[in-house]
Amino acid sequence: MSRYVAALPALSDQYARLTGLGLDLPPLHADLEGDLLVVHPRVVSAAGLAPLLWLDERPGFVVEDLTDLAEFGPAPGVEVPDAALYAVSAPGRGDEFANLSPNEVDPQIRAAGRDLMTVSEGICWALQVPEVIERNHCFMTTGSRKVGRRLGALDSRVPALWISNGAGRDGTERRGAPKVGWCWAGNRHTWLGIASVGGRSG
Q: For residues 57 and 17, what is the distance between their CA atoms, to the nearest angstrom?
A: 18
- What is the reported pTM? 0.94
Burial code of 130-148, b = ≥16 C-beta within 10 A, e = fewer? eebbbeebbbbbbbbbbee
The mean of the pLDDT values for the chain is 93
CA distance 63 to 86: 27
Write down the pLDDT at residue 2: 40
Report residues of the chain scoring pLDDT below 50: 1-2
Determine the residue type at 103.
Answer: N
Residue 7: per-residue pLDDT = 82
What residue spans of the chain are helical by DSSP H? 11-20, 46-49, 102-111, 119-128
- Contact call for residues 143 and 78 (beta carbons, < 8 A): yes
Q: Can you give the pLDDT at residue 5?
A: 56
- Helix (H/G/I), strand (E/B), else coil: 25: coil
pLDDT the model gives residue 112 = 95
